[in-house]
Amino acid sequence: MKTQMRIRTPYYDWLKKDFEMLIEAADLPDLKKHFLRSQWLNQILWMEEKSRKSQKWHYILRLFAIIGGVSIPVLVSIK
């Protein structure tokens, strides 16, 4: 299995810190807070990272579609 290093951005750090503060402020037993930190928070941060990568690929593929949409008619019109 390939292990990737997580890219830490200021938004990522802020999001983690903000959710940790919300979990701490919740009126829950320590065991449930631990569960939220170890499972739920990690899943939220993982989804955030995956959405960032998906958005990047979306823009790359969209750029190729635009370039292809413009260049194909130009190439066809050349005699």
Q: What is the pLDDT of residues 67-78, one digit of tens each?
A: 999 999 888 998
Query: Do residues 60 and 31 lie in contact, with contact meaning Cβ atoms separated by under 8 Å?
Result: no
Complete DSSP assignment for 36-66: IIIIIIHHHHHHHHHHHHHHHHHHHHHHHHH
Angle CA 29–31–40, to nearest 5? 105
pTM here?
0.65
Say which residue, 8 or 50, is predicted with more confidence.
50
The Cα–Cα gap between 58 and 63 comes to: 9
The 10s digit of each residue's pLDDT in 29-72 is 999 999 999 899 989 999 998 999 999 999 999 999 999 999 99
